[in-house]
Structure 1
Amino acid sequence: MSAKKSLSGEQRRALLATPAGWLACGFGSGLAPVAQGTFGSLAALLPWLLLRQLPLPIYLLVLLGGFAIGVWACNVAGRALGVDDHRSLVWDEFIGQWIALLPLLVPALLPPSGFAWWMVLAGFVLFRLFDVWKPWPIRWLDRRVKGGMGVMVDDVVAGIFAAVVLALGLYLQR
């Protein structure tokens, strides 16, 4: 099965029947008929509203745990689908998006006016830009690292790139 093909009804049911599949497809957000990565990134904003209330060290532990669980879940789901990185597997977008929004949790980076929703939109757009564009080393990782780690690692780096640009933009707003 090619990574470009849509899932059959049987594959969708099999994916949603396991905890690994449910998580890997972003609680169903990766089953959108188009733009699965964008829908996964949008869905990631909902839990982020709760996660942003955590102290920064706990948030970082959630990211680390989410990454590790994502490697496992995407590996299991990819094997079940017969494709390493099917477009319906979007847990990597969740972790990448949460990394991209990390600067919004650092009070010293926020402008004197404080948090604003345009910052979330900027983090979202920056993450999607780096995830789709895949500048080096993101493209290199995407092509060479396989399995659950391959699904996750390129989006982690895209999230880091987006976080750096967002942090720089916030710093310049000060």
Structure 2
Amino acid sequence: MTYSDKKSAANLIATVGGTGYLKPAPGTWGSAVAVVLALLLHFAGGFPALLIGTILVFPLGWWATAVVTRNQEDHDPSEVVIDEVAGQWIALLVTSYGAWHLNANPLDLYPGWIAGFIFFRLFDITKPNLIGWADRRGDALGVMLDDVIAGVYAAIATGLLAILFHVVM
């Protein structure tokens, strides 16, 4: 595989098939596509499929981001949205697990999918504490890590909301 072939493959992965070129707000488009892909993975193999996909997308995204941003000033160009996929999938693991554990149609848990999306976007955009630290790294790992951490925060928030509505109330 030549460098040109590698760069083309990396660009396809980094932009999630070109989703990163959608305007405005390519990160939000990337997150929305990630929700659809997460649902497809869940329908194909339940929570285990989404978990495996989430684990695999991180190193793949890190590689693609590193290749696409090599020798560029901008370490996190807006068209790179594979990081949103990784983070968004982490945010949705709580809801996927709930649907899988209950043997429920995942669409019946639609408030969890929506909450995971909203919380992820909120944390990804505002970049509180560790998310901001990761973003300031200025490298491909930081590009991926800030969204992974935002995904963890969003998963916790979604889980707490689920507990509030299903256990406390």
Residue number in structure 2 paired with 1:8: none
For the aligned residues, what is the CA RMSD? 2.5
Ranges in structure 1 where 5+ consecutive residues have no aligned partner:
1-13
- The one-character-per-residue Cα deviations of 1:113-147 (angstroms, maximum 9, x if unpaired) are x8332221111110000000100011011102x33
1:95 maps onto 2:104 in alignment: no
Which of 65, 68, 85 aligns to 1:77? It is 68
What letter is aligned with 1:164?
I
* Between 41-50 and 132-141, the greater mean CA deviation after superposition: 41-50
1:67 maps onto 2:41 in alignment: no
- Paired with 1:43 and 1:167, the residues of 2 have a C-alpha distance of 22
Residue number in structure 1 paired with 2:148: 156
- Paired with 2:155 and 2:94, the residues of 1 have a C-alpha distance of 6
* Between 123-132 and 54-63, the greater mean CA deviation after superposition: 54-63
- Alignment length (residue pairs): 158
Residue number in structure 2 paired with 1:172: 164
Q: Within 5 A, what are the aligned runs for 1:20-39?
A: 20-39=10-29
- Cα displacement (A) at 1:83: 2.4
Q: Residue 153 of structure 1: SS of its match in structure 2?
A: helix
Q: 1:73 to 1:168 in 2, by over 3 A?
A: same
Q: 1:162 to 1:38 in 2, by over 3 A?
A: same
- Paired with 1:47 and 1:29, the residues of 2 have a C-alpha distance of 12
- Paired with 1:81 and 1:29, the residues of 2 have a C-alpha distance of 21
- Paired with 1:116 and 1:58, the residues of 2 have a C-alpha distance of 18
List structure 1 segments (4+ residues) > 3 angstroms apart after TM superposition. Answer: 55-58
Q: 1:77 to 1:67 in 2, by over 3 A?
A: same
Q: What is the TM-score of this pair, normalised by structure 1?
A: 0.81
Which of 98, 102, 116 aligns to 1:123? It is 116
Q: Residue 85 of structure 1: SS of its match in structure 2?
A: coil
Q: 1:30 to 1:81 in 2, by over 3 A?
A: farther
- Paired with 1:159 and 1:90, the residues of 2 have a C-alpha distance of 14
Counterpart contact for 2:38–2:50, Cα < 8 Å: no
Residue number in structure 2 paired with 1:41: 31
Counterpart contact for 2:50–2:89, Cα < 8 Å: no
- Paired with 2:153 and 2:49, the residues of 1 have a C-alpha distance of 22
- Paired with 2:51 and 2:72, the residues of 1 have a C-alpha distance of 31
Which of 17, 41, 44 aligns to 1:51? It is 41
Q: 1:97 to 1:64 in 2, by over 3 A?
A: same
- Paired with 2:98 and 2:112, the residues of 1 have a C-alpha distance of 13
What letter is aligned with 1:51?
L
